[in-house]
Amino acid sequence: MDIRVLAVYSVMAILLVAYIVSEIVRRNGVVWPAIDYWGVAAFEIVASALCIARGIASDARQRQVPLLLGFGLLAWSLGDVAVAAYNGAPPSPGLPDAFYICFYPLTYVALMLLIRRQARRFSVETWLDGGIAGLGAAALCAAFVFQGVLKAAGGSTASVATNIVYPIGDLMLLVLVVGATAVLPTRRRLPWLMLSAGYAINAVGDTFNLFGSGIGATHVGTIFNAVAWPTSILLISSSVWVRSNPIGQRLHVSQPGFGLPGVAAVGALAVVFASSVTHVGLTALFLAALTLAAAGVRFAASLSKLRILNAERHLQAITDQLTTLGNRRALFELIDTLVDERADGSSEPRTLAFLFIDLDRFKEINDSFGHSVGDDLLRQLGQRLKNAIRTDDLLVRLGGDEFAVVLLDADVDYGALVAQRLSSRLEEPFQLGSVRARINASIGIAISPRDADDAPELLRCADLAMYRAKTDGKPFAVYSHELDELGNRIALVEDLRAAIEQRELYLCYQPQVNIDTGEIVALEALVRWQHPRLGLVPPVESLPLAEDADLMDQLTALVLDMALAQSARWRREGHRLVVSVNVSSTNLLNLEFPEVVAAALARHQVPAEALVLEITETTAITDFNRCKQTIADLKQRGITVSVDDFGAGFTSLAYLSSLAVSELKLDRSFVSGLANSTDQRNVALVRSTISLAHALGLRVVAEGVEDTASLDLLDGFECDLAQGFLISEPKPAAELELRPFTSLATDSPTVGERGERQAAADGSDGSPSRPREILPAEATRLGDAVA
């Protein structure tokens, strides 16, 4: 509010208080015409003018309400001027009544515009709440006030008709104000409180005026009759100048409640009950009946909306927001329902096949291209899987990259058929913006009630089967108690923990030779776990176990210790060999890892340049900034960091070049059978990658070398080091021959045989290397030099 306007209103408030005090102290109804008639009229005209001024000063959109309110107040004020001209005794009906009656339509229009402005999004229930509150208040007034007012409105027919206009007008005004107060979100803000209080005081003043003129005035009635209108007009006028709450507070606007509608409904009931004891009047009974009818409709609407809301919330609770598929809760609800039906015997027992689907390499796509691309992949994948099953079957997303399918009335054979169909659908590439990506999945199948009879146990069985499928490199596997329970993952974790603590793991070493000289210059340390019951557990199974069970720090520390101990022994024997050790993202994210490595080097008295730490490209992008910091720390200590399996993921060489790495290891999928490759793009990519790596100052190691022709090609491409079964398979240190590599003997194993042995050592499926589809992103990643 403007300071000048505030000053005017402050003076007027002081004058009003003084006037009220004067009314209280006066005795025997003493009237001071100069003050009671002309002074009050002048006071009201000033307040009306301020209200109109507010409308004129407002912009076009905000101008209507204050102008209408101001002209309504001015009409009432002019009525008081006319009363003063008649020295307080005007005829009835007369000129003052004409001005007074004009007040009502102008005020109704202003209030309707104000309510409409704030009620554009009101629901039917909200309008009903307002109607109940307004009608209930009208019923109470009609029952307990209106009757007395009608009795007071005596005189000629014209006089009675004129006097009845005021209670009816006030009643309608009361319905509007009370109804709006029940539902408006701004009902607790100061402007609305002042406005509604002003009209309530106006109605009280009219009531006392009619009672006083008809059945005699009391001292209290005389006071209310005198001060009600100036007080009301001052409140209404000042309300248009008061600013609404700040925007920050608008965020916490109270919602419509049930207080006023509830009180109004109870009041309507009171009117109905009162009619059985005393005379109430048809108008009051009619209004009470309308109030109760509206309350009944409101109750029915609330029940209907509650049912709809419950259904919507239940749907939201069982729906995955990203894919719009069902979620884990939907899965458990369905399985629990089938189990309950089976238990009570009320219907024919139904079997179901449960398929647990875990995506392979999804994390690489998510980390490389961003979560938005990963989300897009999940949405496309969900629809693709949904189109591959029956409409009666259920597909849900369990979370992350895990999905599940429930096949009703299905057996093992049908479950396997659907699993094969889903795997085939997933082999088709996904178009993710400008990127085409392929993704595979491992699927575990469990049957209910054969394998389990409740949701958690069925999920556990399918999870074990899925893990076995992933380990065996197969698209799916059916749960088997003999195969899966003996290799229970939880038990395996505990066995692995014990094996690490008791140093029951051992290392095999695979040589890396200088392609120019054939000399063995480095060896990669590969950890092996000989399980007392299961035999040799392949790395593809043991390493994820360690990662998931938070054992990777302990495992890497053990491998480092054993590898550096062996390196120290070789160095004492005169072999100046470099040892390579694989590390995971868990190690790189540990900022204390460089200290662990430095302590191990110092303990075995091995120089830092004799150690290479191998990371995969996906390891480096898990948390790029922290990994970058750790790698830089390692390099400052003189330790070489190598990027292993380059080309198997989605990361660009330019991206990795920002890391302090010194070596690049080409993935075996590029190198194996390179000389026999029918895809010349593969050969060009290998040559270009080697050239680009050298330009960045990186040493290049080719792993997966299986034949001399490929080795010759790599030599022509000026590759630095070679590693693979052509040179040697991984062996324990005692079985290694550390003499220079020359050439293959005539009785050497074939390329296919060497590939099978290499796959067995790596834990892969043993299939021959296949030419890879080159995606646009990979061409950008590896082929800048090709272009």
Catalytic center residues: 401
Which of the 8 DSSP states describes residue 146?
I
Q: How far apart are CA 654 and CA 224, in angstroms?
A: 86
- Other beta carbons within 10 angstroms of residue 441's beta carbon come to 27
Query: What does the block give as tokens for 337?
Result: 């329902």
Fill in the amino acid letter for 118. Answer: Q
Chain centroid to CA 383 = 21
Residues contacting 721, CB < 8 A, separation 6+: 512, 513, 514, 515, 521, 522, 699, 700, 701, 702
- Hey, what long-range contacts does 184-192 have (CB within 8 A, 24 or more apart)? 184/115, 184/118, 184/119, 184/256, 185/118, 185/253, 185/254, 185/255, 185/256, 186/118, 186/244, 186/253, 187/254, 188/254, 189/244, 189/245, 190/239, 190/242, 191/239, 191/240, 191/242, 191/244, 192/239
Q: Which residues contact 472 (CB under 8 A, 6 or more apart)?
A: 765
- Helix ranges (H only) for 276-344 are 282-317, 328-344
**Whole-number Cα distances in Å, 701 to 643, 675, 712:** 10, 17, 14
Judge contact between 579 and 523, C-beta under 8 A.
yes
3-class secondary-structure state, position 122: coil
Nearest of 777, 744, 771 to residue 686 by alpha carbon: 771
How far apart (Å, rounded) are the C-alpha atoms in residues 405 and 55?
66
* Torsion region of 531: left, alpha or beta (phi above 0 gives left; psi -120 to 50 gives alpha): beta
- Contacts for 287-292: CB closer than 8 Å, 24+ residues apart: 287/135, 287/138, 287/139, 287/142, 288/136, 288/139, 288/143, 290/135, 290/139, 291/132, 291/135, 291/136, 291/139, 291/264, 291/265, 291/267, 292/265, 292/268
Query: What angle is formed at CA 287 by the lines to CA 284 and CA 289, rounded to 5 degrees?
Result: 105
Tracing tokens 């029952």 back to the chain, one arrives at: 143
Secondary structure (DSSP) of 548-577: HTT-HHHHHHHHHHHHHHHHHHHHHTT---
3-state helix, strand, coil in the chain (%, to 5): 60, 10, 25
d(CA 48, CA 229): 12
Q: CA-CA distance, 111 to 114, in Å (whole number)?
A: 5
Residue 123, helix vs strand vs coil: coil
**What backbone phi and psi angles, to 5 degrees, belong to 360?**
-100, 135
DSSP string, 396-463: EEEETTEEEEEEET--HHHHHHHHHHHHHHHHSPEEETTEEE--EEEEEEEEETTT-SSHHHHHHHHH
- C-alpha to C-alpha distance for 231 and 237, rounded to whole angstroms: 10
Beta bridge partners of 478: 445
Please state the separation of Cα 338 from the chain's center in Å. Answer: 32
d(CA 577, CA 567) in angstroms, rounded, equals: 7
Nearest to 662 by CA among 686, 632, 689, 683: 632
What are the backbone angles phi and psi of residue 664, rounded to the nearest 5°?
Answer: -130, 130
| Burial of 641 (C-beta count, 10 Å sphere; 0-12/13-18/19+) | buried
Q: Supply angle C-alpha 137, 141, 142, rounded to 5.
A: 115
Residue entry with tokens 């993704």: 439
Query: Strand 663-666 vs strand 430-432: parallel, antiparallel, or unpaired?
Result: unpaired
